[in-house]
Amino acid sequence: AQRVTQPEKLLSVFKGAPVELKCNYSYSGSPELFWYVQYSRQRLQLLLRHISRESIKGFTADLNKGETSFHLKKPFAQEEDSAMYYCALSGVTSGSRLTFGEGTQLTVNP
Amino acid sequence: NAGVTQTPKFQVLKTGQSMTLQCAQDMNHNSMYWYRQDPGMGLRLIYYSASEGTTDKGEVPNGYNVSRLNKREFSLRLESAAPSQTSVYFCASSGLDRGTGANVLTFGAGSRLTVL
């Protein structure tokens, strides 16, 4: 079975501070990992995916297969980064279905 | 280009009442999904449809039924609503990103359902 765990329900940092949102997964195989974000009063949207190895809005995430983690990082948090962040996984056995973590509510204080 | 459209945005039901949430996408995606979002539990898959004419149970299908009416539309029905079904419901569709080959979900705006 595949599972995604986000250990922090709430995370609060000050503007300009580094931020790391943790994501751990269990999957027997090679997963595809994603981060989705939901800003206040907006719909869920894709932030980034590991396969693209991209940086979006200053965020990066590296897939660590040894630690089965896909933590989301940003060196200098901005107030507009305040949102709910979901880590998600899909695999060969699940086809196009995504399994989501519990979500982390990030608040960036001025 | 509307993406994924779901209706209604808000609904209040009494226990035992029935209702249908409608979802339509205009991206020619094969796969469609219904998720529910609850605090501290993330998004949980209720049902999905890998292609027109097929539907499968997800993680929490009890109390729900779905219909994939055609490629565009995927509806979710609550036959006899219960307070435990109070939640925010999201419809999504997915298609392959041609550049990366990754399957990317596009979500609707959500439907907030309260069952009294």
A95: pLDDT strictly greater than 80: no
Report the chain B residue with the minimal C-alpha distance to residue A4.
B42
Q: What does pLDDT average to over chain A? A: 91
Burial category of B44 from C-beta neighbours within 10 Å (exposed 0-12, middle 13-18, buried 19 and up)? middle
Average pLDDT of A39-66? Answer: 87
Q: For residue A90, what pLDDT band results from cuts at 50, 70 and 90?
A: confident
A56 φ/ψ angles, rounded to the nearest 5 degrees? -120, 125
- pLDDT at A49 (0 to 100): 87
Which one of B31, B55, B87, B107 makes the best mutation probe of the A interface by having the most chain A beta carbons within 10 Å?
B107
Structure tokens at B111: 């439907």
For A:56-85, CB contacts with B below 8 A are: none
- pLDDT at B31 (0 to 100): 92
Quick check: B108 contacting A, CB < 8 Å?
A: yes
- pLDDT at A105 (0 to 100): 96
The residue among A88, A69, A65, A67 whose CA lies nearest residue A23 is: A69
- pLDDT at B58 (0 to 100): 93
Question: Shortest CB distance from B109 goes to which of A43, A51, A90?
Answer: A43
The residue among A51, A6, A48, A1 whose CA lies nearest residue A26 is: A1
- Say if strands B31-38 and A83-90 run parallel, antiparallel, or are unpaired: unpaired
- pLDDT at A31 (0 to 100): 86
- Tell if the CB–CB gap between B31 and A96 is shorter than 8 Å: yes
Q: How many CB pairs under 8 A join A and B?
A: 58
A52: pLDDT strictly greater than 80: no
* Cα maximum dimension of chain A: 44
N-term to C-term CA, chain A: 41
- pLDDT at A62 (0 to 100): 87
Structure tokens at A30: 């090679």
Q: State the Cα–Cα distance between residues B25 and B77, nearest whole angstrom.
A: 18
The residue among A54, A58, A53, A36 whose CA lies nearest residue A45 is: A36
Helix runs in chain A, H state only: none
Quick check: A104 contacting B, CB < 8 Å?
A: no
Quick check: B105 contacting A, CB < 8 Å?
A: yes
Q: Which residues of B touch A97 (CB under 8 A)?
A: 33, 45, 48, 58
Q: Which residues of B touch A44 (CB under 8 A)?
A: 43, 90, 92, 105, 107
Q: State the Cα–Cα distance between residues B96 and A102, nearest whole angstrom.
A: 25
Give tens-digit pLDDT for B77-109: 999 999 999 999 999 999 876 666 667 889 999
- pLDDT at B1 (0 to 100): 61
